[in-house]
Structure 1
Amino acid sequence: MDPLYTSTEASAGNWSTPEPNGTDGYWNQFVQPPWRIALWAVAYSAIVLVSVVGNVTVVWIILAHRRMRTVTNFFLVNLAFAEASMSAFNTVVNFVYAAHNEWYFGLVYCRFHNFFPIAAVFASICSMTAIAVDRYMAIIHPLKQRLSSTQTKVIIGVIWVLAFLLAFPQYYYSDTDELPGRIVCYIDWPEYDVMNFKTIYYVCVVILIYFLPLLVMGWAYLVVGLNLWAGEIPGDSSGRYQEQLTAKRKVVKMMIVVVCTFAFCWLPYHVYFLLHQFFPLLFERPFIQQVYLAVMWLAMSSTMYNPIIYCCLNDRFRAGFKQAFRWCPCVTASSYEGLELKSTRYLQTQTSVYKASRMETTVSAVLPSAEDAAKVGAKRGSPVHSPSMEVTSNGSSSRSMSKTVSETSSFYSSNNLPV
């Protein structure tokens, strides 16, 4: 992804300048000292390590635990896959090329290098948009039918098809060229008299993979936020309602942080390449390489923040990370955190048994014994219940309460609380 939209077209054209002594040879004005390259290498390596490990762990947490396989989390799997892939396949190569301004990887990888990042970014932001729309439908229109697992997978497939179609021009027009002393990878855009195809394509890409999705997500989360924080259901102050409302707020908060992080990290990158279309001479100056490396680092770093956000803002993801890294000396996973990742049915059963036993103990402590009941009945002239009848009555009451608790637990464990 060097750059995301235009690759090294500038390298092929203007970034090799005549030598200062006036000879016919060429020199690369963007060669950096070793110490600077080493610092940038450490910074980019940290992105790759944290992004790949974190996003692969997110995928494992969701796919390996049945309770985590919800509509929202399937889109999070797609988001994690796109970010881990882009970080693994493009970040290091992009850094090497930007640092040396020389392509070492051949024509095939040049085309993939220009093609895949646009597809991955499109898939990432579309996944976040799908989550925003799903949250909007679940909270604003709770009675409408939710997406099934099959429908979610179909939507993910459609997202990738559209992503490949959007990125295909970058693949089709990518090429390598041999300059004096080095090889460059660039995009050989066609030239038309009636329109500037390159500029139109860049503007469309920026709109489709940044501004339009952010507009949709901003509207959806604004409406959801007003509903969750500014509105209350009249007369419904039960504990069940409050717990459900708190859970929904946590999910929405987490996704808002994810979206804002993505928007902040990618905004300088998009501004950089939009300026490149209208002020190309500015990008021939030597300092622009350091600007590009900084802007690209910020954009690529967006791939490593999401696992950190999930771990900090979601109890189940935090439990999953502790479970995955329990081999580390500083990480301890308690039994409760392990329980959080078990299946819904198991949690319902355990919760029902625990609460039912509490209620049975309370009922037994409050109700009078058979002997006391007989004395009270004799004084009042009311019929005396036998011990066997009392046990039967208590058992019936306990079963009824246990059933109510079980139904409540089942309600909480449903897909209404997706993450």
Structure 2
Amino acid sequence: MDLLLNMTDFYPSVNATNGSGLNDTEDYNQFVQPVWQIALWAVAYCSMVCVSMIGNLVVIWIILAHKRMRTVTNYFLVNLAFAEASMSAFNTVINFAYSVHNEWYFGLGYCRFHNFFPIAAVFASIYSMTAIALDRYMAIIHPLRQRLSSTETRVVIGVIWVLALLLAFPQYFYSATEQLPGRTVCYIQWPDYTNNTTMDFKKMYYLSVVLLYYFLPLCIMGCAYLVVGLSLWAGTIPGDSTHRYREQLIAKRKVVKMMIVVVCTFAVCWLPYHIYFLLQQFHPDPMQLFEWRYIQQVYLAVMWLAMSSTMYNPIIYCCLNDRFRAGFQQVFCWCPCVPAGSYEGLELKSTSYLQTQVSVYRASRTETSVSTVLQPTEEECCGAELPASTPISQTTLERDSMASQSAPNTPDSPVFLRPTHHGLVAQ
């Protein structure tokens, strides 16, 4: 594999020099494994792909199908889930098939796509997490500054993908296939500039990609979450703080904790792969690495760990966020091992609650006065916190119920309603 998630440069270089006449002994392929080993690796990879695709598709549905889940942070989570599901669907199984025998069955077109798309997907994933970290930083450290709108968030996501595709383009441009005696290989035929200049284009590109794809975004996220964590956890909650202030602080802590777990999981899963990659590129004698008897098993394990990062995020969301847990329980309600959950939790309980308030009003409208206390809705939504509420000023509670899908949360203090000739108004 030349860089990310494909087998283009590692194994062909055992018997050849990339880009300068591939040689191979007829019918020789040292990477043929016993059937039982292939079966075990196939179960491991296919299980990971199934969990990743199902989990990330459910995450996308939870966010896009529920209006109150469409926050700035959740839009970036949709982009992250899309990139990870796409990488699992279009790359992991193909890469496993190629790594088993180091034989390419899928033609030049897919060889180029196979070398090109994973880099773009990983870039989109890591920088979606970076954008979430910066959004959390702005929301918590600078709460008075203007936040990103939905349109601006989509623009940022589009810019992320444009940069990802541009950075991955050399992998597409230099991809090639070669027919060897007995098999076909997919590799990247890098230009040889070493005769004319001291610049090694291949190593410089690889080093730049590792810095941009791993170390730089992790440093940015580490600094952002360090400052946010100190702000949220360094002090104690004041004893005279309002109930809503406590709820908002707890909700912010939960969201930040969830994203820190996501980032740490990504870093741990990809670290062995990048160590393997850098060792292969900068070892004084890389051929010695490929002569090791168990190098293929090591590579398959390292690649599985890196790709498994795509399946952990939905599990983390489900375990650490009530909204996502309610959505997963709704999707898998048919499974006997899934406990029954409250689907109203995903909708912030606003619709059912207001309908209850309407029923109370209609049952009591003949009385001379009606006093109803509206409790604040739960605010822990994965993403940007809902804005501070303003007192209810709708002319009727029925109208408020009809607009409940877009209404803000109720205020901190109770609101007492009294009847007028128009209906209920805030007193």
TM-score calculated relative to the size of structure 2: 0.81
| 1:262-288 Cα distance to aligned partner (Å, 9 max, x none) | 000000111111111112223321321
Greater Rg by CA? 1
Partners of 2:202 and 2:276 in 1: CA distance: 16
1:247 to 1:113, Cα distance in 2 relative to 1, 3 A: same
Partners of 2:88 and 2:280 in 1: CA distance: 24
2:340 is equivalent to residue 333 of structure 1: yes
1:332 to 1:5, Cα distance in 2 relative to 1, 3 A: closer
Q: Could you tell me which of 200, 203, 207 is aligned with 2:204?
A: 200
Partners of 1:410 and 1:185 in 2: CA distance: 53
| 1:40-65 Cα distance to aligned partner (Å, 9 max, x none) | 10100111110001100100111111
Q: 1:276 — aligned with what? A: 280
Partners of 2:89 and 2:115 in 1: CA distance: 14
Taking only the aligned residue pairs, the percentage that are identical comes to: 68
| Other structure's SS at 1:27 match | coil
Partners of 1:169 and 1:31 in 2: CA distance: 30
**Is 1:177–1:183's contact at 8 Å kept on the other side of the alignment?**
yes
1:47-58 alignment, distance < 5 Å: 47-58=48-59
| Other structure's SS at 1:175 match | strand
| Other structure's SS at 1:178 match | strand
Supply the AA of the counterpart residue of 2:301. A
Deviation, structure 1 residue 8: 1.9
1:163-174 alignment, distance < 5 Å: 163-174=164-175
Deviation, structure 1 residue 67: 1.1
Supply the AA of the counterpart residue of 2:287. L
| 1:95-123 Cα distance to aligned partner (Å, 9 max, x none) | 11111111111000000000011000000
Supply the AA of the counterpart residue of 2:180. L
1:332-351 alignment, distance < 5 Å: 332-334=339-341, 337-342=342-347, 346=351, 349=354
Q: 2:233 — aligned with what? A: 229
1:74-223 alignment, distance < 5 Å: 74-192=75-193, 193-194=196-197, 195-223=199-227
Deviation, structure 1 residue 216: 0.4
**Is 2:141–2:228's contact at 8 Å kept on the other side of the alignment?**
yes
| 1:314-341 Cα distance to aligned partner (Å, 9 max, x none) | 111000001011122233434xx21112
2:423 is equivalent to residue 416 of structure 1: no
Q: 2:8 — aligned with what? A: 8
Partners of 1:150 and 1:266 in 2: CA distance: 32
**Is 1:76–1:127's contact at 8 Å kept on the other side of the alignment?**
yes
Supply the AA of the counterpart residue of 1:283. L
| Other structure's SS at 2:87 match | helix
Partners of 1:353 and 1:258 in 2: CA distance: 42
| 1:60-89 Cα distance to aligned partner (Å, 9 max, x none) | 111111111111111000000000000011
Q: 1:381 — aligned with what? A: none
Supply the AA of the counterpart residue of 1:416. E
Q: Could you tell me which of 249, 253, 258 is aligned with 1:249?
A: 253
**Is 1:7–1:187's contact at 8 Å kept on the other side of the alignment?**
no
1:315-394 alignment, distance < 5 Å: 315-334=322-341, 337-342=342-347, 346=351, 349=354
Partners of 1:59 and 1:416 in 2: CA distance: 19
**Is 1:244–1:417's contact at 8 Å kept on the other side of the alignment?**
no
**Is 2:348–2:378's contact at 8 Å kept on the other side of the alignment?**
no
Partners of 2:308 and 2:201 in 1: CA distance: 30
| Other structure's SS at 1:209 match | helix
**Is 1:16–1:29's contact at 8 Å kept on the other side of the alignment?**
no
Q: Could you tell me which of 294, 304, 324 is aligned with 1:297?
A: 304
Higher helix share: 1
Supply the AA of the counterpart residue of 2:12. A
Deviation, structure 1 residue 12: 3.2
Deviation, structure 1 residue 11: 3.3
| 1:194-240 Cα distance to aligned partner (Å, 9 max, x none) | 21000000000001110000000000000000000003576752211
**Is 2:7–2:95's contact at 8 Å kept on the other side of the alignment?**
no
1:51-66 alignment, distance < 5 Å: 51-66=52-67
Q: 1:370 — aligned with what? A: none
Deviation, structure 1 residue 25: 3.4
Q: 2:320 — aligned with what? A: 313
Q: Which runs of 5+ in 2 are unaligned?
A: 18-23, 388-427
Deviation, structure 1 residue 247: 0.7
Deviation, structure 1 residue 10: 3.9
Deviation, structure 1 residue 351: 8.3
Partners of 1:227 and 1:74 in 2: CA distance: 25
Supply the AA of the counterpart residue of 1:190. P
Partners of 1:3 and 1:415 in 2: CA distance: 35
Partners of 1:5 and 1:324 in 2: CA distance: 31
Corresponding residue pairs, total: 371
2:40 is equivalent to residue 33 of structure 1: no
1:302 to 1:322, Cα distance in 2 relative to 1, 3 A: same
